[in-house]
Amino acid sequence: MFKKILIANRGEIAVRVIRACRELGVKTVAIYSDVDREALHVRFADEAYPCGPPPSRESYLVMDRVIEIAKRAGAEAIHPGYGFLAENGAFSDRCRDEGIVFIGPSGDVMRAMGDKVTARRTMQKAGVPIVPGTTERLSDDEIARWIRETGPPVMIKASAGGGGKGMRLVRSQGEVAQAVARARGEARSSFGDDGLYVEKFVEQPRHIEIQVLADRHGNVVHLFERECSIQRRHQKVIEEAPGNGISQELRERMGAAAVAAARAVNYLGAGTCEFLVDRHDHFYFLEMNTRIQVEHAITEAITGVDIVKAMIRAASGELLGLTQSELRITGHAIEARVYAEDPDQNFAPSPGTLKVYRPAAGIGVRVDGGVYQGATVTVHYDPMVAKLVVWGADRMEAIDRLRRALAEFVVKGIKTSIPFHQKVVRHPVFIAGRYDTSFIETHMQGGKGGGPDEGEEAAEARRVALMLAAIAAFRREKERATRAQAATGSRAAEDPWKQAGRRAQLRGGSR
């Protein structure tokens, strides 16, 4: 095991990695830009070093500086978290050349899976189903010709990067030229690579992803699936594990495909295979994220596996110590991403100082955050304040717990996405679990509110949701009645004056 690890990141994921290192007995090194000098990850780490001005291209993304700090601090390994340098193959190569262990896959693997066109070809050869489309980068004319011959709807996608950038849906031939221009321009500005390819658009898709873990000894397992279909502009908002209505047969087939994908590229560490699932339960490979995912915590909640510690152990050469037959799903977990955004102003950024920060707590509640009361959310980085993760014995208990936790979560000084989450988790279609990636657009007016439901499917979902809610309410009432009866029986013989005095003490009264 390593003695010291540098975390080349900030915010909640840096804090998350530091916590895992502490449990492993590993010293940690933080880096920080000028505006992050008082950040939580800096306070948590054993050592901290400045890495430059606020813009990430002048601090967290400067490979030479990160490597130099790691050497100066004596760190044997670097954990990149997610974002910044996490999926930069050149950085992984550079760490190897400098004698520092990169906690993640090799640069060759990142390049193979980071370029979506290359990844599609690789998966096709490995027998993993892909969405029908091209496996080559196309010129503007080639895109127009392919769409004309195949017919819309199609998705034009950037071959590099991710996060919904450089993607455009085309529903008619007349939209092609403008969609290509916008997708190419966005890809160029976001990734410095304007390569595009085309896929057929999967109608009413669900976004299901499979978590995989692999060590240096050829062991690969999957940790089941996550449902990531609650999205706004291709950005995940709320995630669940396991997926809604995923049969055991489909789970096993998708899990096997994800393991095959990892084996095809000699993967190491934690990775995620993302799939689209259509209404007929046909699934198609979308992409592979060669890093830890934001939503990894819900998988940890249902499996009991610490994914970050597993990454570190695998990078150090240890065996996974897990077999597929030993892994089980226990209960249900949901994550809500709390962003510094104003839902009432089209999710405009809301930077500022956290005058009050009181995260939710209690049984089954986990908050992964990178802030504290008095900290400042800046405009320079991702606006995530915290990840609120809840676990329940079943999905309805998880939803009830999430509602309670969202109501408890207090943030003042900035606007957050919490009010929007509260609308989502009370929506009958969400409660019924019968949604796809169009949920926010169809049922929440694109994020502007909770618009009226339409059609027989929504009406049926409402009826199912009401039935489930009624059953849950009945069970809760029955449990309360049982507890009350037991309590009454135990107090029956007590002096009523003692009972009155006890109640007065609880209210703060005198004896």
| pLDDT number for residue 446 | 79
pTM value is 0.83
Peptide bond into 54 cis (omega under 30): no
Q: Would the CATH topology of 132-200 be identical to that of 206-455?
A: no
pLDDT of residue 327 exceeding 70? yes
DSSP assignment, residue 347?
T
Six-digit token pair at 474? Answer: 């009945």
| pLDDT number for residue 234 | 84
Give the position of tokens 């609308």. 423
Task: Identify whether the C-beta of residue 375 lies closer than 8 Å to the C-beta of residue 44.
Answer: no
Which residues are within 8 A (CB) of 322 and not within 5 positions of it... i.e. 6 or more apart?
Answer: 213, 219, 221, 305, 310
Give the position of tokens 């400045």. 50
pLDDT of residue 182 exceeding 80? yes
What CATH number belongs to 132-200?
3.30.1490.20
- Average pLDDT for residues 264-275, to the nearest whole number? 97
The conformational region for residue 362 under phi > 0 = left, psi -120 to 50 = alpha, else beta, is: left
- The yes/no answer on whether domain 4-103 falls in CATH 1.10.1530.10 is no
Alpha-carbon span 397 to 364, nearest angstrom: 10
Six-digit token pair at 452? Answer: 């009226």
Q: Tell me the fold of 206-455.
A: D-amino Acid Aminotransferase; Chain A, domain 1 (3.30.470)
Say whether 310 sits in a helix, a strand or coil. Answer: helix
pLDDT of residue 450 exceeding 60? no
Residues labelled catalytic: 291
Alpha-carbon span 66 to 408, nearest angstrom: 39
* pLDDT tens-digit readout, 403-428: 999 999 999 999 999 999 999 999 99
Alpha-carbon span 73 to 6, nearest angstrom: 8
In this prediction, residue 157 has a pLDDT band, given cuts at 50, 70 and 90, of very high
pLDDT of residue 490 exceeding 60? no
Question: Kind of pairing, strands 27-33 and 154-158?
Answer: unpaired
pLDDT of residue 158 exceeding 50? yes
Task: Give the start-to-end residue ranges of the domains of the chain.
Answer: 4-103, 132-200, 206-455
Lowest mean per-residue pLDDT among 7-11, 14-18, 254-258, 477-481:
477-481
Task: Identify whether the C-beta of residue 104 lies closer than 8 Å to the C-beta of residue 311.
Answer: yes
pLDDT of residue 456 exceeding 60? no
| pLDDT number for residue 414 | 97
In this prediction, residue 78 has a pLDDT band, given cuts at 50, 70 and 90, of very high
Measured CA to CA in angstroms, residue 359 lies from 290, 297, 349 at distances of 30, 17, 20
Taking all residues of the chain, what is their mean pLDDT, rounded to a whole number? 91
Residue 495 or 32, more confident: 32
pLDDT of residue 469 exceeding 60? no
Which residues are within 8 A (CB) of 465 and not within 5 positions of it... i.e. 6 or more apart?
Answer: 428, 429, 431, 432
Strands across the sheet containing 47-52: 47-52, 27-33, 4-7, 77-79, 101-102
pLDDT of residue 164 exceeding 90? no
pLDDT of residue 299 exceeding 70? yes
